[in-house]
Amino acid sequence: MRIKTTATLFATALLLTGCSGAGDHDGASASAVPDSSIAPRSSSLTADLALPVEGYIFSESEMGLLTHAMNDLTRDCMKAKGFDYRPDETDAPDIGVMDRRYGIANSYTAATYGYHFPTPRTGRANVQSLGEAGRIALRGKPRADGRLDPDGGCVGEAKKRLAGDKGTFGPDEIARRINMDSYVRSQKDPKVLAVFRTWSSCMAGKGYRYASPMDAIDDPRFGKAATGPAEISTARADVECKKKSGLVRTWFGVESAMQQTEIDKNAETLARIKRHKEDQLKRAASEVGQSR
C-alpha cells in the first residue's frame, strides 16, 4: 500500500476508518495494536516531536482503539439482529503522522521500504456476503441519492454510544483544520523554504535533484508496486539530508508556532474538544476491556 503525498498521508491518518465508520467498503481499517516491529520510532527524526494540536486530534493508536471498540459494538449489534458480521481487521504499521509529515524521516523504513508503506496484515470485512437485509442492518437504508448513511444501522448505533449524548464521533473539525492548515501554510514560510534549499543542495551532492522533500516522495519512478534499489538509495539519502540540514526540526518549529497561535485563539473551544476526545477514548477503552 502506498499513499503518494505527505499531505494525503496525514490527512488519511486523521480521517481513518474510525471517522468514516465500519462497513463503508471492504478495504483496510486500523487495528488497536499497530505492529511496532515494522517501523521502530527510535530510528525516526520525529521520535521526540509532538505538535501542539496533537492533544486535540487522535493519534494512530488512539484512533485504532476507537475503531476497535466501534467494530466490537457493531459486531454485537449485528449478532443481536441475526447476522454474522466480521469487520475489517488490519494490523496497521506503527508509522505515526509525525513520522511522514515532513516526508520520510525514519532511517529504518527508508532502508527497508523506500518511500513505500509496509504491507499490513489484513482481514477483510464480509459486508458483501451479508445480503441486502444485512447491509441495511449494518448501515441503514441508503439515502435518496443512493449513498450510505454514515450514521445509520449498527454502525451508527456504535458511533453514538462512543460519542456520547449530542457528541460527534471521532476527531473534531476545528482541530483537524488547524492541523491541516498549519502544514499547508508552513510550506510557504521563509525559514522552511530556506531549509528546503539546504536539503536540496545536500541531495544534489548525492546525485539526486529535488526541490523539496515532497518532490522526492512523489517521484513517478517510485510509483511501482515493488520497491527497487534506486528508491531505497534515494529514500536513505533523503533522511540523511533531512538530518544534516535540520529540516525536520526547522519545519516543526515553524508549524508549532502557527498551531499555537490558532490554539490560543480558540482556547475555550479546544478545551471542550479535548474533553470530548478523552471521553470517547474512555468509553472505547471500557468497551474493549482496557483501562485509561
3-state secondary structure of 44: strand
Task: Please name which of 190, 196, 164 lies closest in space to residue 254, comparing C-alpha atoms.
Answer: 190
Element (H, E) at 178: helix 173-186
Residue the block writes with cell 535540520: 246
Task: Please name which of 26, 21, 20 lies closest in space to residue 126, comparing C-alpha atoms.
Answer: 26
Q: Tens digit of pLDDT per residue, the chain (292 long)?
A: 344 444 444 444 433 333 333 433 333 333 333 333 445 556 789 988 999 999 999 988 888 899 899 999 999 999 999 998 888 766 655 556 687 899 999 998 899 999 998 765 555 667 667 888 888 898 888 877 877 777 789 999 999 999 998 788 988 999 999 999 999 999 999 999 999 999 999 999 999 999 999 999 999 999 888 899 999 999 999 999 999 999 999 999 999 999 999 999 999 999 999 999 999 999 999 998 865 5
Contact status, residue 1 vs residue 119, Cβ threshold 8 Å = yes
Total residues belonging to the chain: 292
Contact status, residue 147 vs residue 25, Cβ threshold 8 Å = no
Name the CA dihedral angle for 235, 236, 237, 243, rounded to a multiple of 10 degrees. 110
pTM: 0.77
C-alpha–C-alpha distance, residues 60 and 65, integer Å: 9
C-alpha–C-alpha distance, residues 291 and 67, integer Å: 16
Contact status, residue 280 vs residue 164, Cβ threshold 8 Å = yes
Contacts of 124 (CB under 8 A, 6+ apart): 26, 88
- Angstrom CA distances, 112 to 96, 108, 209, 229, 231, stand at 17, 6, 22, 10, 10
Cell numbers at residue 152, please? 445509520
